[in-house]
Amino acid sequence: MLRDNDNFKNLKPRVVSIGPFHAKNSNLQVTKWMKLKLAALFIKDSGIDRNGLYKTIVEKIADFKGCYTDEAIEGYNNDQELAYIFRVDGCAILHYMIICAFETEVRDDMLKQLKIKKDIMALVQQDVFLSDNQLPYELLEHLMGLSNKHYEEKELKHSLEKFILDSINAPPDLYEANQKNYQKAWTIPRWKDKKPLHLLNLLRTTLIQPDNEKDASLVTILVRERSQKQKFNGALTSKKKHVWHASFTILRSLKQLESI
């Protein structure tokens, strides 16, 4: 099994679970309070009705479940349990990206008010891009579309773009090139209707020129396209243009996956 490989074990989340796969991991429960706090702030600042939000997620639960392999969602007895995870984790990750979009001084002050240590947030950023820690982009887009107060959907998508580009950690002279690649990704044929599968897929496509994807090495991502009912194979390689500009941790993860 892939999960018996030592390199794969090194890619497990260190501080936070995102989505159903590691939600029951006892070692990650210590940061559950942080997710609840971030999620509550997103719901409050976005003007979303908490109960109404839960209801809309339940209504679309079949779509969200269909994005995962059976292995990822086994052990959940009902849709309500999954809907709760999607609501909390989805809202938490969006508010996390909003915080990350601010300048350093403002961001640090926000973290201080939330009593969240900066080193914890740094580890969260690493966990966000692990293959087992993905939420369907369809879910994130649904949540962004419901925002009607302080954060408009356009503003949230701008925060998402900045979060992806800042995660690459490119020098200033290449930031614009990566930004153009990010925006170009939304025009490729397979995304016009389906959109990206998840944040890792979006990061990968930003790093790798879309017309060169076929040359990239493949790693198995435990999220699959609902229309094809098969595992999604994400192409990630540190040999492609711009990829080496990603943070060291992300690159280390990708190199370990390629060695499997």
C-beta neighbour count of 242 within 10 angstroms: 16
pLDDT of residue 249: 44
- Torsion angle in degrees (nearest 10) through CA of 161, 122, 232, 213: 60
- Give the residue carrying structure tokens 């109960």: 51
**Residues whose CB is less than 8 angstroms from the CB of residue 6 and which lie 6 or more positions away in sequence, other chains included:** none
What average pLDDT does this structure show over 82-90? 97
CA distance 105 to 91: 23
Identify the domain containing residue 53 by its residue range: 2-258
CA distances from 217 to 3, 142, 214 (A): 19, 31, 8
More confident residue, 250 or 44: 44
What average pLDDT does this structure show over 53-75? 93
* Per-residue model confidence as pLDDT tens digits over 115-162: 999 889 889 989 999 999 999 999 999 999 988 766 777 788 888 988
CA distance 108 to 117: 9
Number of domains in the chain: 1
User: Does the pLDDT of residue 247 top 90, yes or no?
Assistant: no
**Angle, CA of 44, 50 and 55, to the nearest 5°:** 150
pLDDT of residue 258: 40
User: Does the pLDDT of residue 19 top 80, yes or no?
Assistant: yes
CA distance 172 to 163: 15
Average pLDDT over the chain reads: 77
* Per-residue model confidence as pLDDT tens digits over 197-212: 899 988 888 887 555 4
